[in-house]
Structure 1
Amino acid sequence: MARTPAIRPFGDQGRDRPLRVRAEDLEDLTVVAAYLQDAIVPVSEMSFLADENRFVLVAGRFRWEIAPDGTVAEGQDTPFERVHTGIRFEGVRKVRTRGIDRRDPGQMLNLLSLAYGEGVVDLVFAGESTIRLDVDSLSCHVEDLGTPWPTVFRPSHDEGEHSDGAA
């Protein structure tokens, strides 16, 4: 019997519904990574709760699902939105960072991808920065928090094209 995927959007996939998903394997994490690509993460909004074996962060997630082609939806002034999103990893034993100055709480990181393998989850950011979580198993929960806000900036990965990720 096939396993039911852990990716379950909250309600329908409508524009006004907050995202609420979880990832328990690599296939799930691939979907979650697509939702989180280009999220802006302030260093001040990350915390390792060692007593709870939990790593948490709040990001400004770009809502790729509402206008992936850049068209303006009916009743909207701008084609794009961001929303605050809580991200939680359970079963975390250790957290290591590379290319991140944890003494600079104002530093903003641009999340590019998530990877999982051999007891580690890597959060890969622009500028060759990484957070590595040593985990018992993959358990990631993602939930939109609050009301989305409009932005005219769409993240871009084309060489030579600059995008303001802090929109």
Structure 2
Amino acid sequence: MELLKLAALDADDLAVISAHLQDAVLRAGDLAYLPRERRFALVARRFDWTAPDGAPPRRRLTGLHFDRVMAVRCRGIPRETPDAAMELLAITFEPGEAPSGTATLVFAGGGAIRLELECIEAGMRDLGPVWGAESRPVHPIPLDAA
């Protein structure tokens, strides 16, 4: 079993991490902001988009962290319900005065977490366990997008 380990130091690197975490599921209790360490971290169950062709769909336990976090703002995140399930759709980055900017974790249902960053310094690492997924995530394409 090969474990994926990625680092992000710029917006392009962060886009790669976002692609690997698309459709990851997590619980609200899997999120942590550590202001003294200026770190935001989460543990998710990511869909393994790199599984070999013909292999059954699977998920992996994965950790993600951002360092040099100056502030965190949440919208639509059920923090009072730690077992609430959430689906991560994407991580975006909006540059500010270089090298700072804002990373946004976008969740299904309209939830979002905005991280004000001194600079991009993030890492994603598979933590080991792999298990079969019930199905492959599907994203219907709207008719007006063609």
- SS for the counterpart of 1:51 is coil
In the other structure, the counterpart of 1:60 is: 45
TM-score calculated relative to the size of structure 2: 0.89
Equivalent AA in structure 2 for residue 27 of structure 1? D
1:85-104 matched pairs, under 5 angstroms: 85-104=62-81
In the other structure, the counterpart of 2:136 is: 154
1:139 aligns with 2:137: no
Cα distance between partner residues in 2 of 1:88 and 1:39: 15
Cα distance between partner residues in 2 of 1:120 and 1:29: 12
- What is the alpha-carbon root mean square deviation over aligned residues? 1.4
C-alpha distance after superposition, 1:103-149 (max 9, x if no partner): 11011110101111221100001001100001100111000012211
Cα distance between partner residues in 2 of 1:45 and 1:106: 9
In the other structure, the counterpart of 2:33 is: 48
User: 1:35 Cα shift?
Assistant: 0.4
C-alpha distance after superposition, 1:25-48 (max 9, x if no partner): 111111111100000021111100
C-alpha distance after superposition, 1:58-113 (max 9, x if no partner): 0001000114x5x23xxxxxx11101100000000111101112111011110101
User: 1:152 Cα shift?
Assistant: 3.1
Cα distance between partner residues in 1 of 2:141 and 2:16: 25
Q: Which has the higher contact order (CA 8 A, sep 6+)?
A: 2
1:125 aligns with 2:125: no
In the other structure, the counterpart of 2:21 is: 36
Structure 1 portions without partners, runs of 5+: 1-15, 73-78, 161-167
- SS for the counterpart of 2:80 is coil
1:112 aligns with 2:97: no
TM-score calculated relative to the size of structure 1: 0.78
1:80 aligns with 2:57: yes
